[in-house]
Amino acid sequence: MRLLFCGDVVGRSGREAVTGNVPVLRQQLGIDFVVANGENAAGGFGITLDLARELLQGGVDVITTGNHVWDQRQAIGQIAAEPRLLRPLNFPPGTPGRGAAVFPAPGGRKVFVVNLMGRLFMDALDDPFQAVERELRAQRMGPGGVDAIVVDIHAEATSEKMAVGHFCDGRVSLVVGSHSHVPTADGHILPGGTAYQTDAGMCADYDSVIGMQKGPAVQRFVRKMPGEKPTAAEGPGTLCAVYVETDDRTGLAKRIAPVRAGGKLSPAMP
C-alpha cells in the first residue's frame, strides 16, 4: 500500500496546496490513502466542518488534529458529524469526537488511523502511550487484521515523538510527528519495520513564521508585547508530506520518502 501523510494545513494557502497537489500526487505516485493534519486550516486556528469537507473533497481520506482542534468553537458540536475528522485520542473520556478509527481503502483494504497528542510543553492530557497501547491491542496488522496503521503524534518535544515511534515500532506502518510546522530530515525505517519521521512540516506559505504573517510575528518577539492577532500568510503554499510504501503481507514499511510540492521550498518526490 502507498500512504501519504500531509503536515499541518495552515490557512487558505495550506488548503490550496493540499487540494491542488493531492489529486495529482495520487495519480502520479499511485497513492492509496491520504491523511492530513488539519488543525490550523481555519486561518491558522482550528478547523470547521466546511473546511474539513473541503479537504476531504480535495483528495484527503482522513483529517487529524491537535491542540488547536477546538479553536473554532463550532467544531465542538460539529466533529461528531464527520467521522473522518479525528481529535487526539488521549483527550479525557467524554470529549466529543474520536481519536482513532478504521477507514476503507481501495481494493477492500483497511487503514487504522490514530491521532495522539504529546504532553511535554503541551496541555496536560491523558497518557498518550497508554492510549495508543489500548488501541494497538485491539487492532493488529496482517492477515485477519487491518492492512496499515498510521499514527500522528502531535507534540512539541522531538524526544517525545521519537519515544512514541520506538514504542510503536513493529506494530504500525508509520509514526509521524506534526505540530512543529518544519519538516525534519530524519525519515527512516525503525528496526521493527515502522516508518518514522519526527515532523512532516506544514502545508502553508513558507514565507512566514510557521505559517503566520511574518511582520507581526517578528514584532511579537522583538517587542515582547502583544500585538495584532496573528494571521495566516497568504502567499503560494508548499505541500510538505511523507510518503510510505508498505508490505502488503505485514503492513510494515518498505520505504519512506519526503514529498514537497509548490511554494518556496525545493521540490522533493519519491
Return the H-helix or E-strand segment holding 66: none
Number of helices (H), then strands (E), belonging to the chain: the values are 6, 13
Q: For residue 148, list its beta bridge partners.
A: 111
Output Rg (C-alpha) for the chain, integer angstroms.
17
Bridge-based pairing state of the strands 195-197 and 174-178: parallel
Q: How do the residues of the chain divide into helix, strand and coil, expressed in percent and rounded to 5?
A: 25, 30, 45
CB atoms within 10 A of CB 198: 23
What's the rounded Cα separation, in Å, for the pair 32 and 27? Answer: 10
Q: For residue 250, list its beta bridge partners.
A: none
Cβ(99)–Cβ(90) under 8 Å? yes
The candidate with the shortest Cα–Cα distance to 114, out of 196, 173, 67, 162, is 173
Q: CA 214, 153, 248 angle in degrees (round to 5)?
A: 120
Crossing angle (nearest 10°) for helices 49-57 and 11-29: 30
* Annotation says 68 is catalytic: yes
What's the rounded Cα separation, in Å, for the pair 228 and 48? Answer: 23
* Catalytic annotation, pick one of 68, 154, 179, 181: 68
Q: Which residues belong to the active site?
A: 68
